[in-house]
Amino acid sequence: SRLPKLPFAVHSFTHPGLNLGIIDQPTPFGPVPRHGDKLDKNDLQVSFIIDETMGGYVEIVKWMKLISNSGKFVYDEAKDKGLYSDATLTCFNSKKNPTVNIFYKNIFPISLGDINFTSKTQDMEYLTCEVTFKIQTFDIESVDRSFVV
């Protein structure tokens, strides 16, 4: 995994929605909506706690700098292989047993949120940050393999 420190700090996760879209078929009486043929996926959003070493945050910054080819003007196609990663979200039931896995293929970060450093609070507040990923595809599978989508 490209982010070994992040999984333990994730505190919320937004699974991407799907959009099929429509095509208007022209007729003499007006357009008739028909289903589209392309399934678009929304972005994967993850909110995580930043630890005292900023481990997960730094991993994402390094990944984004690698992707952006920062400071370099030559594109090297051989390096393109390490720019994507796979990810797995495991859902648990009320007894904390795994029930469903969602496998995300070829994800990469496109946005890393702001960090609000403040010393005004008296209570212990953890720093948090959001990261947004693009995904190529995902599969949903029950742990007992009773369904695969």
pLDDT along the chain (149 residues), means of 10: 72 92 93 91 94 89 84 58 86 93 95 88 83 96 89
Q: What pLDDT is stored for residue 122 in this prediction?
A: 73
Q: CA separation (Å) from 80 to 38, 77, 85? A: 26, 5, 11
Q: What pLDDT is stored for residue 68 in this prediction?
A: 86
Q: What pLDDT is stored for residue 71 in this prediction?
A: 59
Q: What pLDDT is stored for residue 8 in this prediction?
A: 66
Q: What pLDDT is stored for residue 45 in this prediction?
A: 96
Q: Which of 103, 98, 126, 128 is nearest to 44 (CA)?
A: 103
Q: How far apart are CA 109 and CA 57, in angstroms?
A: 12
The pair of structure tokens assigned to 112 is: 């890393």
The kind and range of the H/E element at 86 are: strand 85-92
**CB 47, CB 12: distance < 8 Å:** yes
Q: What pLDDT is stored for residue 80 in this prediction?
A: 61
Q: What pLDDT is stored for residue 3 in this prediction?
A: 76
